[in-house]
Structure 1
């Protein structure tokens, strides 16, 4: 089998899809059935996986890109021309399976596979900027037509995609994600130096990670945390890690006030090498997202031996099983109570840590690569 994997998501800031692409690439390298593995980055086809970037090499260029994305004409020109540039490269390899790991597929290429991570631009359009919704809806409808098969991160998303687009389930395959091997339980001595750089103390903060944008439901998280007893939230502050996304201006205003009050730390986008230590040092992990196609951060928390409090939305119950405290995403009162329990209830914390760690081991990137390979065979 000859496979070409798109690697455009491996860029700054490295999001969940970028990390998925990296891990899948390494897993595919170990599959004996794949005789030849190529990586397509932009218009460059190579055998070597692109390096992960910790910072954007052209900050001014990044600002220009963001302005162009908001321009409807520029976005439409890009939507029409960029895929064809990939097509010109891929047509030289008609015997290869091409896998687009981030929703998109170029036109006129046979044996194409795409990963659909979620349907939020269709089912939660209010949680995205209008220009993103316009662009992605047009392109994803094209992907549905072009793909031989589709891959999803969870069984929830598999069934949602099939139902929404009226596709047979035989055309949609689940390849569950996993946490990387850097996420594992650590003692205070193993993380204290790293987390001290962020002004944190081992086991004395609650953690949220994810892009600062409406879908992550951070406003509800702040409201719930404010309801904790003042002494408790000062002793165990909330730490928020994530790249500043769309629609986050009001949240950043609240971050400033909460930081001044002493119960919140906003760290922004942190070095990927520090992230496992920040997870392992947390007292509990909080994730009240409105919608997730998988919810990789909750799995990373469980793999780190950290108790989890999350919403019962979309795919999250499938990932956490009975190892986490769950409530409706918008239920501020219940979320606040669960957060307090996750901090204070030592018996539950011990159970959640052990059961979450055991459950996280059911997911592996090797298994994800094997399930992906099964989808390739159908293509």
Structure 2
């Protein structure tokens, strides 16, 4: 193994509103340079090289205008990176100019459930993914469940694929009554779901199941839905609007990290009924805050929650409603789940994720 490794890291996933992949990318940006043995790290977004990738977190970022010299310099950097650096695409793809490198494949939802994605995303994935896969010396994924899928579905050897769990970056924030009050919420007085509003998250099943609860329980403990608007959700929006009109659903858009910490800290119950995940950061973040949690029975969610969360087949609406009611009212289970969930969540550390990722860089540099 070499004494040091040079890295060229794609930061395409960074932006003002971080998704789970964006959070992963940010933790690599912040953590990789501090790992012993990383001799140099450079960042690129599309054709642009950045000295300060965290500038992408600000609203309104735009690349500096570059003339012919800037274009020549970028091409020179590309050639240098190809020859001396491990190129890492943390969001599925390698850039076209990279002859080899490392990719992180978070999940195979585009292949397994293409109907749950916008058509243009499916086309883009089909166009770019095979080329990236063929050039990847190593593949990182977030869970053993997805690692098994990659090996079985894509025909790659197990030696090429490494499962590296994600981490929890936020502090275990207590609920701020004043912040919650601005949205009409009180600590311990709501059920929370944090998710992008897209089909595979099964938020529609959650709303339908919640609608079967006793009306008094729904009014006392409303369902709070927080997250980016996503796609293909017209029918879901109609369901949500009906619940909002009846007073037992509250819809929030994307929220800041500060407010998100209070939302987690004040929830009586967290529910994440997704049918498929690569990892599932929101339930782990909720468990880190000591919130009793229900997750969909997807293999990855069962894996990462390690028995500390209740699981549900969200498509069985009546059984889902029964589990929701029991979980909202069972104080003994809530206490046990809070303790067990926090212990599981604390086992996921970004420092471990980053260190294991750098180990993959070193192995890739030898190939």
Instruction: Please indicate, yes or no, whether the TM-score normalized by the shorter chain is above 0.5.
Output: yes
| Structure 2 residue 41 is the aligned partner of structure 1 residue 34 | no
| Structure 2 residue 53 is the aligned partner of structure 1 residue 49 | yes
1:362 to 325, 347, 353: 347
Name the CA distance, whole Å, in 2 between partners of 1:149 and 1:283.
41
Q: Is the 8 A contact 2:142 2:165 kept in 1?
A: yes
Q: Deviations over 1:92-123 (max 9, x none)?
A: 32201111110011234244111001000100
Partner of 1:6: 10
Name the CA distance, whole Å, in 2 between partners of 1:86 and 1:312.
46
Q: Is the 8 A contact 2:31 2:354 kept in 1?
A: yes
Partner of 2:113: 124
Q: Deviations over 1:112-153 (max 9, x none)?
A: 111001000100111111221111122111111111111001
- Displacement of 1:177 in angstroms is 0.3
2:168 to 158, 164, 179: 179
Q: 1:87 to 1:99 in 2, by over 3 A?
A: farther
Partner of 1:25: 29
Q: Deviations over 1:239-296 (max 9, x none)?
A: 0011111111121122211111000000111223311111111111100101101111
- Displacement of 1:321 in angstroms is 1.2
| Structure 2 residue 242 is the aligned partner of structure 1 residue 254 | no
- Displacement of 1:45 in angstroms is 2.1
Q: Deviations over 1:206-247 (max 9, x none)?
A: 111111110111111011101111000110000001111111
Name the CA distance, whole Å, in 2 between partners of 1:199 and 1:250.
25
Partner of 2:69: none
TM-score (norm 1): 0.88
- Displacement of 1:88 in angstroms is 6.4
| Structure 2 residue 254 is the aligned partner of structure 1 residue 269 | yes
Name the CA distance, whole Å, in 2 between partners of 1:372 and 1:362.
17
| Structure 2 residue 95 is the aligned partner of structure 1 residue 91 | no
How large is the Cα RMSD of the aligned pairs?
1.8
Name the CA distance, whole Å, in 2 between partners of 1:290 and 1:241.
18
Partner SS for 2:192: strand
Q: Is the 8 A contact 1:87 1:107 kept in 2?
A: no
- Displacement of 1:185 in angstroms is 5.2
- Displacement of 1:29 in angstroms is 2.4
Partner SS for 1:35: strand
Q: 47-56 or 257-266, which moves further after superposition? A: 47-56
Name the CA distance, whole Å, in 2 between partners of 1:132 and 1:146.
21
Name the CA distance, whole Å, in 2 between partners of 1:323 and 1:86.
48
Q: 149-158 or 330-339, which moves further after superposition? A: 330-339
Q: 1:44 to 1:355 in 2, by over 3 A?
A: same
Q: 140-149 or 267-276, which moves further after superposition? A: 267-276
Count of residues in Structure 1 that have an aligned counterpart in Structure 2: 349
- Displacement of 1:54 in angstroms is 6.3
Partner SS for 1:274: helix
Name the CA distance, whole Å, in 2 between partners of 1:88 and 1:338.
59
| Structure 2 residue 123 is the aligned partner of structure 1 residue 134 | yes
Q: 131-140 or 278-287, which moves further after superposition? A: 131-140
Q: 47-56 or 119-128, which moves further after superposition? A: 47-56
Partner of 1:280: 265
Partner of 1:225: 210
TM-score (norm 2): 0.91
Partner of 1:235: 220
Q: Deviations over 1:156-196 (max 9, x none)?
A: 111111111111110011111011133x152x5xx112211
Q: Is the 8 A contact 1:313 1:329 kept in 2?
A: no
| Structure 2 residue 293 is the aligned partner of structure 1 residue 289 | no
Unaligned runs of 5+ in 1: 59-84
